[in-house]
Amino acid sequence: MIQLTQRAATHVQQMLNKRGHGMGLRLATQKSGCSGFAYVVDYADQINSDDVIFESLDIKIVIDEMSLLNLNGSEIDYLQTSAVNQGFEFHNPNVQDVCGCGESFNV
């Protein structure tokens, strides 16, 4: 299961409204950095055969089965501390280690 905080759900809904299309939020992980994986956040415009769909606060979250292994149980928040300092923050219970720069993680 993947959940959004109210701030994250509100931000995603605003961005989907501004964009004018899309069915929800697509989350994934990809091999990257010195620790192993990085988060990938995008719009979900279609559902693929290997996708799993969750719904949190009326927002559809689409994630491929392989990424779900790394992200299951996560909560995603959205933080904005200034006009230029904003983004999603992942609270991922599967993370074993994070690289020094905070750009990648391993499970």
pLDDT in tens, 7-26: 999 999 999 999 999 999 99
- At 82 the pLDDT is 75
Tokens of 36: 């192993």
pLDDT in tens, 97-106: 665 555 656 6
Which residue type does 69 have? L
- Structural domains of the chain, ranges and CATH numbers in brackets: 3-98 (2.60.300.12)
Backbone angles phi, psi at 7, to 5 degrees: -60, -45
pLDDT in tens, 40-55: 999 999 999 999 999 9
